[in-house]
């Protein structure tokens, strides 16, 4: 028989997933890019070359996680498009990145519900703390990349929320965000060592109102 009232306990991971060790990103292999271009991207005229340039950049990013200057140069050379034009595509489109993602990826939901619940203030705090200024950037220590998701992640009931290394973390407030960043940056604040299993989902809901002001 169905339970009433329904159990609204959020299905949130009790702790963060094991954080993978930071590994230097693989440099993009120019030979791979050249092979891709020769096989998939052959333009009939300059107009088509301009269109294909963006598609090629997206392909490269999908495979390597970013587009390096060298990779952009191979694209420009193959298509006969000005290098400056290809660079401008990489920097203009928010979905394209020029630097690789860190081992830790924090994707803050900024959909309507989470925004109403204070996600904007939390993102400002994250940017300040990590010393970054815009989405997609990686902290100077190379530990954390912060992305912003402007659509809904489908977990409004635990908002404001984020996806941290692929795991949903909800009921965020400044204190909780600090604890998450402590862990992602590899340090435990104030003698918290050994408490990593502390439940991220168990920060009392009552704290949320004051926390997101």
Q: What track of x and - describes contact with ligand FES for positions 102 through 141 (by CB under 6 A)?
A: -------x-xxxx---------------------------
Whole-angstrom Cα Rg for the chain: 21
Token digits of residue 60: 């490269």
The nearest distance, CB 31 to ligand FES, in angstroms, is: 41
Taking CB atoms, the residue at the shortest distance from ligand FES is: 111
Instruction: Name which of residues 3 to 62 contact ligand FES (CB under 6 A).
Output: none
Instruction: Answer positive or negative: Cα dihedral of 122, 151, 165, 61.
Output: negative
- The dihedral region occupied by 4, where left means phi > 0, alpha psi between -120 and 50, and beta the remainder, is beta
The nearest distance, CB 176 to ligand FES, in angstroms, is: 15
Nearer to ligand FES, 41 or 106 (CB): 106
Q: Does 90 bind ligand FES (CB under 6 A)?
A: no
Nearer to ligand FES, 111 or 174 (CB): 111
Nearer to ligand FES, 90 or 153 (CB): 153
Strands (E), 103-181: 104-109, 144-149, 162-164, 167-169
Stretch that binds ligand FES, among 68-76, 122-130, 152-160, 189-197 (CB under 6 A): 152-160
Q: Give the closest residue to 167 by CA, choosing from 132, 212, 199, 209.
A: 199
Tell me which DSSP letter residue 98 carries: S
H helices present in 30-101, as ranges: 30-40, 46-64, 69-79, 83-92
Residues written for the chain = 213
Nearer to ligand FES, 59 or 110 (CB): 110
Whole-angstrom Cα distance, residue 141 to residue 164?
Answer: 18
Nearer to ligand FES, 103 or 111 (CB): 111
The nearest distance, CB 110 to ligand FES, in angstroms, is: 7
Nearer to ligand FES, 91 or 150 (CB): 150
Q: What track of x and - describes contact with ligand FES for positions 155 through 174 (by CB under 6 A)?
A: xx--x-x-------------
Token digits of residue 176: 């909780």
Q: Give the closest residue to 59 by CA, choosing from 85, 79, 41, 86.
A: 41
The nearest distance, CB 211 to ligand FES, in angstroms, is: 17
**Residue numbers at the binding site for ligand FES (CB under 6 A):** 109, 111-114, 152-156, 159, 161
């Amino acid at each position: 028989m169905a339970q009433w009232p329904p159990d609204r306990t959020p299905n949130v991971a009790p702790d963060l997933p094991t954080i993978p060790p930071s590994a230097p990103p693989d440099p993009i292999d120019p030979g791979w890019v050249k092979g891709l271009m020769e096989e998939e991207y052959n333009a009939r005229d300059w107009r088509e070359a301009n269109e294909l340039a963006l598609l090629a950049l997206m392909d490269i990013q999908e495979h390597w996680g970013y587009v390096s200057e060298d990779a952009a140069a191979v694209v420009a050379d193959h298509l006969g498009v000005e290098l400056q034009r290809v660079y401008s595509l990489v920097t203009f489109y928010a979905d394209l990145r020029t630097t690789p993602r860190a081992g830790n990826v924090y994707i803050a939901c900024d959909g309507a519900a989470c925004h109403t619940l204070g996600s904007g203030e939390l993102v400002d705090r994250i940017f300040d703390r990590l010393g970054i200024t815009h989405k997609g950037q990686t902290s100077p220590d190379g530990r954390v990349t912060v992305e912003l998701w402007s659509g809904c992640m489908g977990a409004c009931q635990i908002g404001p929320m984020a996806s941290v290394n692929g795991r949903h973390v909800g009921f965020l407030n400044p204190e909780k965000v600090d604890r998450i960043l402590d862990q992602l940056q590899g340090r435990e604040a104030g003698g918290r060592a050994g408490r990593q299993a502390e439940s991220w989902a168990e920060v009392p809901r009552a704290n949320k109102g004051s926390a997101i002001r």
